Amino acid sequence: LTREQLAMVPVLASRQAMRHPLSLTEAPPQPRPDGASAPLSLDEVLASRPVAPATNLLECARRADGGAAFIVADSNFIDATLGHDARPQSGCARRIRDTSTTRCACYYQASGPLYPPPRISDEVFSCEHAAGSAYSEAQLLPSDIDWFGLYDCFPICYVRALEAVGLARKGEGGRWVERAHAATQAEGYEPSVLPVNTHGGLLGFGAPWEVPAMYNACDQLLGTAGQRQVGDVRRALVYGNGGIFSHSAVAILAQPVD
């Protein structure tokens, strides 16, 4: 994993976030000569003020206020309340079938010590355990997932999450990021080129924890993501963490099965 590969993560996030009207990356962090809005460049990230070893200011999640509410219910309640074919018209409402009745999705949590050892090793990175258990319970593989919402408070979290959920092999997350960086350089790239954090994640959209990823997963499943839509999304995975990498939760969401 190289320093440049880490710095490519917020560049990817800003490119994705530019397509979301509510993101904090609609305007550049520094004024541009032509006044145009543009995503971050690799040079900008590397030149920004260091805040920690191997972490600069533009590699930190963007602080933001925000929230969302999700009502989870079984299919009988949903059909009785909304009607079988009902679809809420409000942008604030989304419909998801209960995972216990469809067996198309699941939720799993993995926790470690509140204060992990100074060195975050493979053994204490709880996302891998949570994702593996979620895949097993849902009887799915990473290749069965069409969209991923990954917690990306800092670049290393994004890279490790790519490996933990099976998008990249262990130790190859940096090369995965480098390939994605090259594939998304063209302004009009298709969303399916990078079906991860199409809203921009915490680094690009803003960081009211992992609420935006859940909301955008619903958008993808309902086909309402507009220019961010990754084709026909049938299943989405959302991962969030806390407690300095020691606590992880992974949810696999799916379209309703009639």
Domain ranges of the chain: 3-68+104-254
In the chain, what is the straight-line distance between the N-terminal and C-terminal CA atoms, in Å? 45
pLDDT digits (tens, 9 = 90+) for 186-215: 888 999 999 999 999 999 988 887 888 988
Note whether 14 and 187 are within 8 A (CB).
no
pLDDT of residue 26: 61
* Best CA proximity match to 94, nearest among 233, 195, 207, 217: 217
50-52/147-150 β-pairing: unpaired
* Residue entry with tokens 């507009």: 226
Average confidence score pLDDT of the chain = 81
State whether CATH 3.40.50.10490 applies to domain 3-68+104-254.
no
Which of 47-56, 70-79, 80-89, 99-108 is the least confident region?
Answer: 99-108
- pLDDT, tens only, 25-77: 764 445 444 444 678 999 999 999 999 999 999 999 988 887 777 777 776 77
- Is the alpha carbon torsion for 236, 244, 161, 231 positive or negative? positive
Which of 66-70, 141-145, 166-170 has the least mean pLDDT? Answer: 66-70
Nearest to 77 by CA among 108, 100, 105, 104: 100
Cβ-based neighbours of 6, under 8 Å, separated by 6 or more = 54, 59, 155, 156, 159, 174
- Can you give the pTM of this predicted structure? 0.83
